[in-house]
Structure formats: structure tokens, C-alpha cells
Amino acid sequence: MMGSISIWAATRPRRPRPALEGDLRVDVVIVGAGITGLTAALLLAKTARSVAAIEARAVGAGDSGGSTGNLYQTVTGGLETLAAKCEADTARAVVASRGEAIAWIEQQAQAMGPSSGFRRCPMYQYPLSPDAEPTILGELKALRAAGLDAQLASEMPPGLPAAKGAVLLLSAQAQFHPIGYLHALALQAEHAGARLFENSPALELDLEVGVVRTRTGTAFGHHIVLATHSPLGFHLVQAGMAVRREYGLAFHEQAVPAGIFWAQAHPRLSVRGLEANGKHYLLCIGEHHETGRHDAAAALAQLERAAQEYLAVGSPVQRWSAQHFHSPDGLPYIGRDESGAFIATGFSTDGLVYGTVAAHIITDQIIGAQSRWSSLYLGSLQKTENIAR
């Protein structure tokens, strides 16, 4: 029977947590328990701040738990595209900040043990038609200009579609099991002193007094972090944000070489392997559509046809989707906005790494520390708020 939850949720049991009940007073209230919220909860708790993270459903039940589990320094929309919108120094800074975040994730994963499923692996980008080769070559140039050791490979590894042109190889990227990592991260945050609450959707936000109200409780905090992609209430950044949905399929008993495999086609097809609970899976991610103007059944059917055409797979055993928020300039919005809340959004489909970047930036801002990257992403936020006015 094909499931409608992600392969990650289907292969990792979860530990339930109570809902928020009554009044709770802390230094920082975090709304959302995905990778941004949990990373921030851990970092802030380690600074001896009292922290409460409230989650509408369950830890990792949102976009973090519906992701690819891929961790890479480049960006899905193409570093060449980003560099065309920004200065060259900006693209280099984005790559560097994302590299630092992956290294931090690796450190946490080493302490977690095998539950996180973390592994370093290469990343391949390749054309499925000759007319896509210029995109590969343009990306190669942009990656090298940003300081990454990108190379051309002669062919794809066995079991993947044959490339119709040049193959781009970027070594030392990574993958993990997002739900496994988030569950272990939640335990680390709790061990450091943070409190986590599930089944506690934020229904009302009052930033003047620092209050988040749920159905059964109220959390008071000196700082409010909205780690929910689409911030509660009205925020100027929402005016220009594009919301899109992406789909995923898992196929059973399909062994795939370690790696991230991006096929440049229309639409883009992302492939990776997974070994979980003694079983091998092939995962296919693709079919981007604007939320509210899409047909989920048709998108999943199209993705399945593409997987069967290029990878000779059978029927999927799991299917799911996740929602993403895209900023006009291609950079996330991270920091305190005009409402007084800390927000982190506009990650596109690169949220696992950007969420980790955001948690570090927001933590530094709350504790008054210097951050290498706050001006990079806060500047994008301020620019967008000025335009939205």
C-alpha cells in the first residue's frame, strides 16, 4: 500500500511530546520544531537561556521532514542564477555559510550515532538532453568562481541514467535521514534544557507583550522566533514570497550509489538512495508547482512516469510532498523583522542547510554576539521590507 507520508516518517519511529498547557514564561519562545527551530533551541539552551519550542503537529512533521535529506553548498536554483542577481562576493559568502552549516551538522551527527544517517557523498549534475549541457557548463564556472572544487566527470555512476553531455561533479557534499536527525536534535535540545511541545499550533501572537497563545496554553517570552517559513500574522516579506510545492516518491529494493544526483531536464529530477531498517530505497524528487494552482495527483503521476522512464523502477511504496517559500532575489530572509519577531524564510528547496544557518544567525542576534553572516541575509530582509512598503 502506498503511503502519503514521507519515507523519512515511515522509517523512523517518533517519541511523542505533550501539548503546551497553562502559562509558561521563558526567555525565548520558538514557534516550529523543524530544523530551524530545533537547532535554535539547542544553541540557545546551551547559552543558559530558557527556551520553549512549540510545534503545531509533531517534531519534523513539516517541510524539514518532507525534504530530500540532501546537504549541499550550492543552491537548487543554480549558483549561476544567484550570481547573476547578486555580486560575486555574495555568491561566495552563500557557499561559505552553507559549508559551515554542513560541517556543524556533521559534528552533531557524529555525536548522535547512526540514527541520523549522515554520510559525506559526491554530488552530480548532468543533462538528460543535449540542450541542457550549457546549464551544466555555466554552473561549473559559477561553482569554481565561488571557490568550490567542481570538476567534470566522464560519466555517471552505474544505475543512473546516461548523461547527454558533460557531467558536473562536486565532491564532499552530504546526506542524512532528516527525521532521524531531527529526533536526535530534539533530544539534544531537551538535554540542554529546552522544553518541546507538540500538537500546539500557535493561534495568536502578541509581540508587544511577547505572547504566543495555543489552544491550551500561553507562552511568554522576551524573544519570539517564528521558525515556520510563513510567519504567523502579517509580515512585509510575505508580500513578494512565492509558495511552491514539490513531490517525492520512494521505490523499494532499489540500491543506488552514494550521492546526490540532479538531472537537468524539464522539470528537474533529483535522485538519491536510502538504506533504512535493512532495506534499500531509491528516492525521486521533482515536479515543482505553485501552491494552490497544482494538481497533486497529476504531479505525482508525472514524477512516477519520469522515474520509470529514466530509472526503470516499479511502483512506488511511498509518496509525499512538501511546501517551499521562494524569495524574489534568491536569498533567504533571516533576522528580526519590522514586527519585532525573528523570522527565517525564503529557503527555496535548500532549507535543511539554510535552516541551520538561520538558527546560528538568530541565536547570535539574541545573545548579542557577532555573526559572520547576519548582514548577508538580514540585508536581503531589510531590502524586501523597504520594497514592500
Sign of the dihedral through C-alpha 25, 31, 37, 40: negative
- Where residue 51 sits, what CATH number does that domain have? 3.50.50.60
The verdict on residue 166 lying in a domain is: no
**Domain containing 189: what range?**
15-66+179-239+329-388
What is the rounded distance in angstroms from the CA atom of residue 200 to the CA atom of residue 222? 20
Residue with cell 497553562: 22
Report residue 382's pLDDT band, with 50, 70 and 90 as the boundaries.
low
Task: Answer whether residue 281 is part of any domain.
Answer: no
The answer to whether residue 368 sits within a structural domain is yes
Task: Give the mean model confidence (pLDDT) for residues 137-154.
Answer: 96
- Under the banding of pLDDT at 50, 70 and 90, the label for residue 293 is low
Among 32-41, 156-165, 347-356, where is mean pLDDT lowest? 156-165
Check residue 135 and give its pLDDT.
93
Question: Is the pLDDT score of 379 beyond 70?
Answer: no
Average pLDDT over all residues of the chain = 91
Counting beta carbons within 10 angstroms of the beta carbon of residue 238, is it exposed (0 to 12), middle (13 to 18) or buried (19 or more)? Answer: middle
Within-domain flag for 205: yes
Q: What is the pLDDT of residue 363?
A: 98
Whole-number pLDDT of residue 389 = 46
Q: Would you say 163 and 136 are in contact if contact means Cβ atoms under 8 Å apart?
A: no
pLDDT, tens digit (0-9, with 9 covering 90-100), for 10-35: 999 889 999 999 999 999 999 999 99
Q: Is residue 61 part of a domain?
A: yes
- Of 4-8, 55-59, 364-368, which range is least confident? 4-8
* Domain tally, the chain: 1
Predicted structure pTM score: 0.94
Residue 235 has pLDDT above 70, yes or no: no
**Band of pLDDT at residue 294, cut at 50, 70 and 90:** low
Residue 87 has pLDDT above 90, yes or no: no
Is residue 48 assigned to a domain? yes
The answer to whether the bond into 114 is cis (omega within 30° of 0) is no
In a domain, 7, yes or no: no
Establish if 35 belongs to a structural domain: yes
